[in-house]
Amino acid sequence: MSIESIIESKYTDSVDARLDSYAAYIHYQVQEAQRALPFLARFFDVRTARVLEIGAGRGGKGIAYALAGMRVTSLDVDVSALQLGAAAARERQAPLRLLAADGIRTPFAANAFDAILLDSVIEHVDDPFALLRECWRVLKPSGIVFVVFPPFYGPLSGHIDDYIPIPWFHLLPREWVKRKLLAIKEPRGILTSRELYDVFTTLNHLTIFQFRQFARRAGFAFDYWRVRPFLTHPGTRLVIGLLAALRRPSRLHNVCAVLTRARREFDLGTFLLFGWLSALAPLVFLPFAQEIAAGGVKAVLRKK
C-alpha cells in the first residue's frame, strides 16, 4: 500500500465529500466498489459473472461493477433513488439493470446468479433470515453472497454518527434519539435530520451472533469472515497511514505527511472519540464482547 494512497487518495476525499450532493454520493459509491473489486475477484470472475445487487441505493456501486464486466441487476425499494442511479448509469454508459423490487421476494428463477451483493443492506430488512434464504434460492450452486453490515450494538452502528457522533447513542430510547436528531435543523448536505431518523427506524438490531446463525440456517458456509472496529474516518486514515509510512524507507517524511493530514482532520472531540474507540478495538477478537466494539462485519457466504 502506497503512502500516497492514504494521505492524498481520491477515495478518502470522496468519503469526506459524500454528502455534498447526489453526484458526490454516487462518486463515493463508485470509489467504494472499485476498492472492493480485487477482494471480490478472489471468489468469482468479476469480468463475466451474473450478479444481483440487493440494496442499490443511488446505483454507484452497481455502475462500477457493471463497468468492470459483471452483468449486474440492482434492486431497491426506493424508486427515487433508482431514478438517480439510472441517470448516473446512462451518463457513465454503464450496462446496469435497475429494478424496483423487494430482496426478500425477488422475481428471479432459482439458480440464476453467480454472486449476490448485500453491502450495508441486511441491517435494514424486516427479516434477515428470509433475505438470506431468498439469496440461497436464486444463487447457482457454489455461488457466493458478499455481506457487509454494522452490528447493531457497535459504538456507532445507528447510522446517525454524521449528526450525533456519540458512541452508543442509538441504543437510548427511540424518542430520545428522535428528539436529539430533529433538534438539529442545519442539514448535512443532502441528508436532513428527518431523513436520517427515517433510516435509523429501519434498523432491525441485527447482531453478529444472529447473523452467523441465520447464515448457517439458510444453508451457507463461510468462505471469509472478518469483524473490524470503526475508528472514525480520520482515525482509520491515521492508523493505516502510519502503518504504511513505517514500511517505507523514508520513514520520517512519510510519518510527517500522515501527521500533517491528521492535524487538519482532528479536533478535540474527534481525537477523544478516536482514543475511546481505539481502546475498545481489541475486543473485536473476543466472542460476544465484539458486539459492543465492532464497526462492521465483512463476510463471504458460499451456497452449499
pLDDT for res 2: 47
The pLDDT, as a whole number, for residue 256 is 82
* Mean of all residue pLDDT scores within the chain: 91
- Residue 156 scores a pLDDT above 90: yes
Element (H, E) at 39: helix 22-40
- Residues of the chain with pLDDT > 90, as a percent, come to 74
Q: Tell me, what amino acid is at 133?
A: R
- H and E: helices and strands count for the chain: 12, 7
| Whether residue 10 has pLDDT greater than 80 | no
Q: Which amino acid is at 215?
A: A
Closest CA to 156 of 167, 140, 144: 167
Identify the CA nearest to 119 among candidates 35, 61, 162.
61
Residue that the C-alpha cell 457454489 belongs to: 142
Q: Where are the domains of the chain?
A: 3-158+203-303
Q: What would the mean pLDDT of 243-248 be, rounded to a whole number?
A: 74
Rounded mean pLDDT, 8-18: 76
pTM of the model as a whole: 0.91
Matching residue, cell 462518486: 27
Measured distance CA(20)–CA(26) in Å, rounded:
11
pLDDT over threshold 70, residue 26: yes
- From 302, 119, 291, 93, select the one nearest 208 (Cα to Cα): 291
Given a contact cutoff of 8 angstroms between Cβ atoms, the answer to whether 182 and 197 are in contact is: yes
Host H or E run for residue 65 = helix 60-67
pLDDT in tens, 100-140: 999 999 999 999 999 999 999 999 999 999 999 999 999 99
> Tell me, what's the pLDDT at 3?
46
Phi-psi region of 272 (alpha: psi -120 to 50; beta: other; left: phi over 0): alpha
How far apart CA 288 and CA 264 sit, in angstroms, is 36
Report pLDDT for 250.
61
Region label for 159, one of left (φ > 0), alpha (ψ between -120 and 50) or beta (otherwise): left
**Cα separation of 184 and 166, whole Å?**
15
Q: For 202-234, how does the pLDDT look when each residue is reduced to its tens digit (9 = 90+)?
A: 999 999 999 999 999 999 999 999 999 988 888
Q: Which residues contact 276 (CB under 8 A, 6 or more apart)?
A: 155, 167
Check if the beta carbon of residue 63 is closer than 8 Å to that of residue 72: no
| 235 pLDDT above the threshold of 90 | no
Amino acid occupying residue 169: F
Q: Which residue shows C-alpha cell 428463477?
A: 109
Q: What are φ and ψ of residue 142, in 5° steps?
A: 70, 10
**CATH class label, 3-158+203-303:** alpha beta
Confidence at 158, pLDDT banded by 50, 70, 90:
very high
How far apart CA 241 and CA 8 sit, in angstroms, is 11
The least confident of 32-36, 149-153, 259-263, 293-297 is 259-263
Identity of the residue numbered 176? W
Please state the φ and ψ torsions of residue 104, each to the nearest 5 degrees: -80, -25
**pLDDT tens per residue across span 43-82:** 999 999 999 999 998 999 999 999 999 999 999 999 999 9
